[in-house]
Structures are given as structure tokens and as C-alpha cells.
């Protein structure tokens, strides 16, 4: 076995690999860029080597620098993680030439699976079902229209070199096929420097289901069940689970066996993933193979009990797989939420800055529930704009699907991040969404369920009452403490003896103390909490239900966040509440007169021109930052006075992009 390995990556995946290596008694070497000198993966590794500038193109993507770091530290093998150099044939070959082991598949398999047309042909030859379509290259728009007509609409026009959801268009008619061909070709040329295009049938009501494979260098390949990744936003996975609520044993076996056949056809070893698109009738079609460890691999680990990184390291060292297909047992259900530094309330704009609080839920294995948090950040650390916005992966496992979902809801309620915007409310809302709980998923779920964007999970009556009661009890504790510490009775507005009202999102209730809790409009709500002023979380038992919320102090009460929604609870005396009615409501007239660039990035396109009249929600421009294209939309109805940016411009935060009238 290796004595020392180098991890050519950063963030949570570097930390993940270090954890297993350490458990195996292997020394670890981290590499880092200028932006990462204080990063968690650097702290956790035994040694760390600085490899260059903050942009990945000056550090994590430079093969020679990684090889130098290996030589300098005497590491015997390299784990590439995902992204960066993980699917780069030249990297695998360069390591090979230096006699350094690559903890991944052979260069030939990376090459064969790296191109969508080639891999689709190989898959068809290996007996794998592929999406019906035309396998050749398409020369021009006329040919595209003809072929699309032959296949039958709708069709998917795709770049052979595509990845990350780019260079891909759906067409429902001749006109869209013509346009789609041209725009896919342009996007592919600019993103991948390769404009080869092909066309296949667009699968309707699609679900994304993928098979985990694991092979050794002795010809053995196993499949470790599937993962469903249908909850996607702009082709980026957000929530993944294993197994899939949609597959039956027969389909699972058929997909698994086809995946093994394809892997064997390219002499695959190490961990890999065969992605399929599955239609409403459980017909499944090969999409592509990812020749690396996948972001969502933990859900497979939790249902199989297999440590995939450990297996990858052993395989790279030449060991034979000890497992046989019949030893692979799928137990229970696992869910993963990707925690992104992005603001779901503002069109998912990425967010950068310092983590003033980072309090993940307790990892645990207890009462049949597992909670795991794979993270690459720490409290006080910085989220930089140079890398992708994923900061953690929260994973839960339970005996069945709903127990895993409920465990996820609970774990998300116990996750506190401040200082940057994050998507905890958004994934929390999905966990509570009935259609998600029913397992009725397609890749269009987010678009269909949140067509107007995200505005917090709905608040039901029971929850509203529980939070109103809790907010009141918290406020009482705060006032009591204030009285005790200052020995001065607070003003009459806060006199505990006076009649009190609680205002929760505009719903006003009369509130009073009761023996076992409080009364709301005369109704008793049983409540017990050990919360003390200053605590970041409040745990309470309300009418027999346990709840946990994160707490932010407001002048007149608290903002309590949980179950995918933040709620403001305000506590006032009857008199103050009555006076409130005379306070004019502050209306946000959106007095901003310009579109300000919210993050450093490059302008991809501008959707408006001087004089255009634009409705709230309509796109104004697209800016690329943190590897994502971000659509900036109008926050209210506006007329465009002046456009101050153009495609290709590099912008800093707060640069004025567009002025409104
Ligand atoms: P997986 O297939 O493992 O679920 P993704 O497909 O979301 O993961 O992404 C895999 C890797 O590719 C990640 O490291 C991610 O950072 C990178 N990646 C995804 N989309 C893009 C993109 N548009 N540009 C560059 N890298 C990307
Ligand atoms: P990438 O390399 O960008 O990951 P994929 O081929 O894996 O490209 O496709 C990304 C996503 O696009 C899939 O997860 C699926 O949601 C959708 N998609 C791809 N091909 C089709 C198709 N033929 N029909 C319907 N949806 C598709
Ligand atoms: Mg894919």
C-alpha cells in the first residue's frame, strides 16, 4: 500500500479523501493556490505545497505544478477528486510517464468516455441502450432540420465535447432546430473549442438516474446500485438520493449489467458513473460516463456501507476487489443536499465573503439515522470567487425514504451559516414539498414548482402558532433577563404584566402566559424550551412536536428560521400594537435606479437596449462568476435609460451595468 498520496484538489472533496487516507494510515499532501493558503484541506493534510495563483488555470489545472509537488514530497499516488484534472487524459498519462500512480481509471478509458459521440457509439456496441438519434456529425442547419424531422420532435441538439450542461438545446419544431443548431454550435466553439454537434430524441418527463461502478485492474467490475439526481437547477444537481424511488429490481439489474458491460469494454477500473436518462415508462438511455469520483458518491456509500475512496486507493495500488456482485446489498435510503453559497431569494446569485458563523449539524449515527456533513470550510474562513460555490454536502441515511427526508429536514434546521447567502432554506423547502416527498420527480421539478423563483416554504397554521408561541416565550426570557441585570423595570410597552400581542408575518394574536406554555387568542399551546438569550438555535417542544430554529434578534422580537422559511415574530403590548396601525407601512418602491453588478465576473450577454420597457423578473444581462452563468433580472418594472456594459466586459462588484429611467 502507498505510504503517501497527494490530493490534486481543494474544498470538501480534498478533505473527504484526506479522511479516508488517514484512516488507512496513509500520509497526505495537499496542494493550494494563493487564495487557499488558509483553507481547510491545507490544515487537515499532513503536508501542503503551494502551487500558484488563485485562478485554477494558474494552479489546480497546471499538470507540471502538480507533478513537481509530488516529486518534492515523495508522494506515490495522486487522487484527483472531481472537476479540475480528474477527467484529463493528459494528466493521467503524465503521471504514468513519471511512475506516479493515478487514483482513477486508465487514460484510455478517460479518452473514450470524454467525447459524447464516441462514448455513445461505444455504448451502443457494448449493448447499452442509447437515446435514439443520429450518431454522425451534422454539417449545417439544413441538415439539422432534416435529421430532427427524421428523429421526430422534440429533439435535443448537443455538442459532442459538451459538459456542465453547456452546448445543449431542446427543439420542438423546424425553426427551433435551426436556431438550436446554431446556438449550440456557437456555445460549444466558445466553451470547448470544438463545435461538433449531434442530435438525439428529447426524452420527455426525464429523470436522471446513474449507476455507480467500481472495477479493479484484474478485470472485475461491479455495480453499486443507482442514484437519482433529478432535482437539478440549470443542469446542476442540487439534491441526490439513493436508491431511486422510481426503479424496480429488474430495471436496476438491467441498468447495472449494461453499465458493467460498458466499463469492461473500455477496460475501466476505479470508481466511475454511468449516467442515464429514464422516461416515464422506465425506458432508460445512456447519457454519458463520468470517469471519476462523483460529487454525490456519499449516498451510495451510506446505502452500501462501502467507502469508495478506500476502494479507489486499493485498486490504484493493484489490489483485487474483495467484494463480489452478490455481496453488494442496498440498505435503507440516503439523501444528499448540496449547500451552495448562493441566494435562492435573489435568483440564486452566488455569494462570496467571510463565514461569520458556520455551525453544521452534529454528525451522528444513532437511532437508525446517520447524519454526515462533508465540508471544505470553517467558521471565519472566506468563500472566494475563484472556485465553485458548493461549500458542503449534507447527507442523511435512514431505514426508508421518508425517514431520510425527515432526518434531512431536521439536520438543515440545525445548520447555521451567516456572513454569506446560502441555499439552506431552498433545500429545506424541497424536503417539505409534497411532490418531492411523494418521489414524483423529473429534471423539470424546480422549474415547474418554482416558476416565479423561490420565496420561502409555505407556512402552515400549526407551524405559525408554534413559532408565535416560541417567539413570545423567547421575548419574555429576554425581558426578564434585562430586568434582572439592570434592576430597572422596562418601559410600560414591555411590562410583563400588560396585555401582549404577537405579530407573525402580519397575523396578530393576543398572547398570554399559561401554566404549560402560552395561550394564543385564548387557545393553549403547550411549550417548553431551554433557549437562553444569546443562543444561536432554539430547541422547543411545542404541543408534543420537537422543533429547532436558528435565531436572529430583532428589536421587537426574533427572526426564526427552519423548515425552509424565515419568519419574523414580533411581540408588542396591546397599546403598541394598536399604535402600529397608524404607522405607515414602508413600501419598497425599489428606488434603485440602476443594475449594479452583484459579484465580480464577465458579462456573457446583455438582454436589453436603451428605451426598452422591462417587466419585473425579466432578464437584463447574464454574468459568469464562480463557474456559473447568473441571470440578472429586473426587480421591478423599469425603462432602460442607458446600457453601460457589453458582452465580454470584466466587471467588479458594484460596477454599474445598466441605468434605469
Ligand atoms: P457530478 O456529475 O459529480 O454530480 P457535476 O456534474 O455537477 O458533478 O460537476 C462535476 C464537476 O465538474 C464539479 O467539480 C464541478 O465543479 C465541475 N463543473 C460542473 N459544471 C461546470 C462548469 N459549467 N464549468 C466548469 N466546471 C464545472
Ligand atoms: P453534461 O455533460 O453537460 O452533464 P449530459 O449529457 O449528462 O451533459 O446531460 C445533462 C442533463 O441534460 C441531464 O442530466 C438531463 O437532465 C438533460 N438531458 C440530456 N440529454 C437529454 C435528452 N436526450 N432528453 C432529455 N434530457 C436530456
Ligand atoms: Mg452529465
Domain parsing of the chain, residue ranges: 4-103, 106-128+208-331, 132-201, 337-457, 461-580, 594-660
Give Cβ neighbours of residue 332 (< 8 Å, ≥ 6 apart). 302, 303, 397, 398, 399, 400, 404
User: Cell 514530497, residue?
Assistant: 73
- Protein residue closest via CA to atom 12 of ligand 1: 83
Atom number in ligand 2 closest to CA 156 = 23
Q: Do the bridges between strand 101-102 and strand 77-79 make them parallel or antiparallel, or are there none, so unpaired?
A: parallel
Give CA–CA dist 332/471, Å, rounded.
37
Q: Is the CB of 192 under 6 A from ligand 1?
A: no
pLDDT at 265: 97
Q: Is the CB of 83 under 6 A from ligand 1?
A: yes
Grid coordinates of 274: 454511468
Ligand 1: distance of its center to the CA of 235 in Å? 10
Ligand 1: distance of its center to the CA of 249 in Å? 30
Whether 540 and 467 have beta carbons less than 8 Å apart is answered as no
The third-level CATH classification (topology) of the domain covering 461-580 is Glycoprotein, Type 4 Pilin (3.30.700)
Grid coordinates of 99: 511512475
Give CA–CA dist 314/3, Å, rounded.
12
Give Cβ neighbours of residue 534 (< 8 Å, ≥ 6 apart). none
Give CA–CA dist 274/243, Å, rounded.
15
User: Cell 479516508, residue?
Assistant: 20
pLDDT at 587: 60
Mutate to test the pocket of ligand 2, among 159, 168, 234, 239 (most ligand atoms within 8 A of CB): 168
Whether 114 and 89 have beta carbons less than 8 Å apart is answered as yes
pLDDT at 492: 42
Grid coordinates of 378: 470553517
Q: Which of 257, 259, 277, 289 is nearest to 119 (CA)?
A: 289
Ligand 2: distance of its center to the CA of 402 in Å? 28
Q: Is the CB of 143 under 6 A from ligand 1?
A: no
- Protein residue closest via CA to atom 15 of ligand 2: 208
Whether 193 and 264 have beta carbons less than 8 Å apart is answered as no
- Protein residue closest via CA to atom 23 of ligand 1: 164
Architecture of the CATH domain 594-660: Beta Barrel (2.40)
Q: Which of 500, 507, 421, 499 is nearest to 463 (CA)?
A: 507
Angle at 455 (CA atoms; ends 449, 456), nearest 5 degrees: 90
Q: Which of 91, 72, 90 is nearest to 29 (CA)?
A: 72
Give CA–CA dist 309/299, Å, rounded.
13
Architecture of the CATH domain 106-128+208-331: 2-Layer Sandwich (3.30)
Atom number in ligand 1 closest to CA 292 = 3
Whether 265 and 125 have beta carbons less than 8 Å apart is answered as yes
Q: What ligand is nearest to the CA atom of residue 158?
A: 2
Give CA–CA dist 340/421, Å, rounded.
9
Atom number in ligand 1 closest to CA 293 = 3
Which helix or strand (DSSP H or E) is residue 321 part of? none
Residue 323 CB: number of other CB atoms within 10 A? 16
Which helix or strand (DSSP H or E) is residue 519 part of? strand 517-520
Give Cβ neighbours of residue 62 (< 8 Å, ≥ 6 apart). 51, 52
Whether 222 and 213 have beta carbons less than 8 Å apart is answered as yes
- Protein residue closest via CA to atom 8 of ligand 1: 295
| 264-280: b (≥16 Cβ within 10 Å) or e | ebbebbbbbbbbbbbbe
**Bridge-partner residues for 509, per DSSP?**
502
Q: Is the CB of 164 under 6 A from ligand 1?
A: yes
Mutate to test the pocket of ligand 1, among 288, 627, 629, 630 (most ligand atoms within 8 A of CB): 627
Residue 111, sorted as left (phi over 0), alpha (psi -120 to 50) or beta, turns out to be alpha
Q: Does domain 4-103 have CATH number 3.30.1490.150?
A: no
Give CA–CA dist 387/13, Å, rounded.
13
Give Cβ neighbours of residue 322 (< 8 Å, ≥ 6 apart). none
Whether 551 and 538 have beta carbons less than 8 Å apart is answered as yes
Within the chain, which residues score under 70 in pLDDT?
485-497, 585-591, 627
| 348-371: b (≥16 Cβ within 10 Å) or e | bbbbbeebeebebbeeeeeeebbb
Ligand 2: distance of its center to the CA of 162 in Å? 10
Give Cβ neighbours of residue 467 (< 8 Å, ≥ 6 apart). 504, 549, 560, 567, 569
609: helix, strand or coil = coil
Give CA–CA dist 85/111, Å, rounded.
13
Atom number in ligand 2 closest to CA 164 = 3
Give CA–CA dist 28/6, Å, rounded.
6
Residue 134: what are its φ and ψ, rounded to 5°? Answer: -105, 125
Which class for 139: exposed (0-12), middle (13-18), buried (19 or more C-beta within 10 A)?
exposed
106-128+208-331 and 337-457: identical CATH topology = yes
Q: What ligand is nearest to the CA atom of residue 80?
A: 1
- Protein residue closest via CA to atom 10 of ligand 2: 165
Whether 167 and 203 have beta carbons less than 8 Å apart is answered as no
Atom number in ligand 1 closest to CA 237 = 7
Mutate to test the pocket of ligand 1, among 339, 341, 388 (most ligand atoms within 8 A of CB): 388
Give CA–CA dist 441/535, Å, rounded.
38
Domain 337-457 homologous superfamily, CATH: ATP-grasp fold, B domain (3.30.470.20)
pLDDT at 505: 87
The secondary structure of residue 130, as a DSSP letter, is B
Q: What would the pLDDT profile of 243-274 be if each residue is shown by its tens digit? A: 999 999 999 999 999 999 999 999 999 999 99
Which class for 424: exposed (0-12), middle (13-18), buried (19 or more C-beta within 10 A)?
buried
Give CA–CA dist 504/509, Å, rounded.
8
Ligand 1: distance of its center to the CA of 291 in Å? 13
Whether 215 and 222 have beta carbons less than 8 Å apart is answered as yes
Whether 179 and 221 have beta carbons less than 8 Å apart is answered as no
**By 3-state DSSP, what share of the chain in percent is helix, strand and coil, each rounded to 5?**
30, 35, 35
| 455-491: b (≥16 Cβ within 10 Å) or e | ebbebeeebbbbbbbbbbbbbbebbeeeeeeeeeeee
Give CA–CA dist 236/389, Å, rounded.
12
Q: Tell me the catalytic residues.
A: 288
Ligand 2: distance of its center to the CA of 198 in Å? 13
Domain 132-201 homologous superfamily, CATH: ATP-grasp fold, A domain (3.30.1490.20)
Which helix or strand (DSSP H or E) is residue 444 part of? none
- C-alpha 352: how far from chain center: 16
Residue 5: what are its φ and ψ, rounded to 5°? Answer: -125, 155
Amino acid at each position: 500500500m502507498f505510504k503517501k498520496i497527494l490530493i490534486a484538489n481543494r474544498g470538501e472533496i480534498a478533505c473527504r479523501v484526506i479522511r479516508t487516507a488517514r484512516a488507512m494510515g496513509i500520509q497526505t499532501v495537499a496542494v493550494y493556490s494563493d487564495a487557499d493558503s488558509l483553507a481547510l484541506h491545507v490544515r487537515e493534510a499532513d503536508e501542503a505545497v503551494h502551487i500558484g495563483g488563485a485562478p485554477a488555470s494558474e494552479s489546480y489545472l497546471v499538470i507540471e505544478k502538480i507533478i513537481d509537488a509530488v516529486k518534492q514530497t515523495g508522494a506515490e499516488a495522486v487522487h484527483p477528486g472531481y472537476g479540475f484534472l480528474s477527467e484529463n487524459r493528459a494528466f493521467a498519462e503524465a503521471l504514468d510517464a513519471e511512475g506516479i500512480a493515478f487514483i482513477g481509471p486508465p487514460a484510455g478509458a478517460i479518452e473514450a468516455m470524454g467525447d459524447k459521440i464516441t462514448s455513445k457509439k461505444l455504448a451502443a456496441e457494448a449493448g447499452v441502450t442509447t437515446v435514439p438519434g443520429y450518431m454522425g456529425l451534422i454539417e449545417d442547419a439544413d441538415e439539422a432540420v432534416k435529421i430532427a424531422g427524421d428523429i421526430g420532435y422534440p429533439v435535443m441538439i448537443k455538442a459532442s465535447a459538451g459538459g456542465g450542461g453547456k452546448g445543449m438545446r431542446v427543439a420542438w419544431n423546424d425553426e427551433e432546430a435551426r436556431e438550436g443548431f446554431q446556438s449550440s454550435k456557437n456555445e460549444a466553439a466558445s466553451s470547448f473549442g470544438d463545435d461538433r454537434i449531434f442530435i438525439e430524441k428529447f426524452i420527455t418527463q426525464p429523470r436522471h438516474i446513474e449507476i455507480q461502478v467500481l472495477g479493479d485492474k484484474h478485470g472485475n467490475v461491479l455495480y453499486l446500485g443507482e442514484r437519482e439526481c433529478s432535482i437539478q437547477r440549470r443542469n446542476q444537481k442540487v439534491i441526490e438520493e439513493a436508491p431511486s424511488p422510481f426503479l424496480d429490481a429488474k430495471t436496476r439489474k438491467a441498468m447495472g449489467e449494461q453499465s458493467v458491460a460498458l466499463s469492461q469494454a473500455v477496460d475501466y477500473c476505479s470508481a466511475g458513473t454511468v449516467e442515464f436518462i429514464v422516461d416515464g415508462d422506465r425506458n432508460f438511455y445512456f447519457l454519458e460516463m463520468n470517469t471519476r469520483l462523483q460529487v454525490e458518491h456519499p449516498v451510495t456509500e451510506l446505502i452500501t456501507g462501502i467507502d469508495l475512496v478506500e476502494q479507489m486507493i486499493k485498486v490504484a495500488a493493484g489490489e483485487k476487489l474483495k467484494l463480489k456482485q452478490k455481496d453488494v446489498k442496498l440498505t435503507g435510503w440516503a439523501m444528499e443536499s448540496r449547500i451552495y453559497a448562493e441566494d435562492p431569494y435573489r435568483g440564486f446569485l452566488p455569494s462570496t465573503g467571510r463565514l461569520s458563523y458556520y455551525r453544521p449539524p452534529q454528525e451522528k449515527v444513532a437511532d437508525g439515522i446517520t447524519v454526515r456533513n462533508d465540508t471544505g470550510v470553517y467558521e471565519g474562513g472566506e468563500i472566494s470567487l475563484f472556485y465553485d460555490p458548493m461549500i458542503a454536502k449534507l447527507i442523511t441515511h435512514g431505514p426508508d425514504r421518508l425517514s431520510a427526508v425527515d432526518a434531512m429536514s431536521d439536520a438543515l434546521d440545525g445548520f447555521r451559516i451567516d456572513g454569506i447567502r446560502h441555499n439552506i432554506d431552498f433545500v429545506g423547502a424541497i424536503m417539505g414539498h409534497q411532490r418531492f416527498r411523494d418521489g414524483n420527480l423529473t429534471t423539470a421539478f424546480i422549474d415547474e414548482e418554482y416558476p416565479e423563483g423561490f420565496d420561502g416554504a409555505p407556512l402552515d397554521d400549526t407551524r405559525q402558532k408554534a413559532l408565535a408561541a416560541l417567539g413570545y416565550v423567547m421575548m419574555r426570557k429576554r425581558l426578564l433577563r434585562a430586568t434582572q441585570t439592570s434592576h430597572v423595570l422596562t418601559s410600560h410597552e414591555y411590562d410583563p404584566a400588560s396585555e401582549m400581542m404577537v405579530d407573525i408575518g402580519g397575523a396578530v394574536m393576543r398572547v398570554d402566559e399559561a401554566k404549560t406554555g402560552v395561550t394564543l387568542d385564548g387557545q393553549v399551546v403547550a411549550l417548553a424550551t431551554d433557549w437562553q438569550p444569546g443562543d444561536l438555535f432554539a430547541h422547543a417542544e411545542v404541543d408534543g412536536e420537537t422543533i429547532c430554529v436558528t435565531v436572529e434578534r430583532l428589536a421587537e422580537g426574533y427572526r426564526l428560521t427552519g423548515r425552509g422559511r424565515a419568519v419574523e415574530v414580533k411581540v408588542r403590548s396591546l397599546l403598541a400594537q394598536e399604535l402600529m396601525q397608524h404607522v405607515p407601512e414602508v413600501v419598497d418602491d425599489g428606488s434603485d435606479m440602476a443594475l449594479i453588478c452583484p459579484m465580480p465576473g464577465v458579462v456573457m450577454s446583455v438582454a436589453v437596449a436603451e428605451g426598452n420597457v422591462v417587466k419585473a423578473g425579466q432578464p437584463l444581462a447574464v454574468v459568469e462568476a464562480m463557474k456559473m452563468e447568473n441571470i440578472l433580472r429586473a426587480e421591478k418594472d423599469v425603462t432602460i435609460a442607458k446600457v453601460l456594459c457589453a458582452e465580454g466586459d470584466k466587471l467588479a462588484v458594484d460596477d454599474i451595468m445598466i441605468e434605469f429611467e
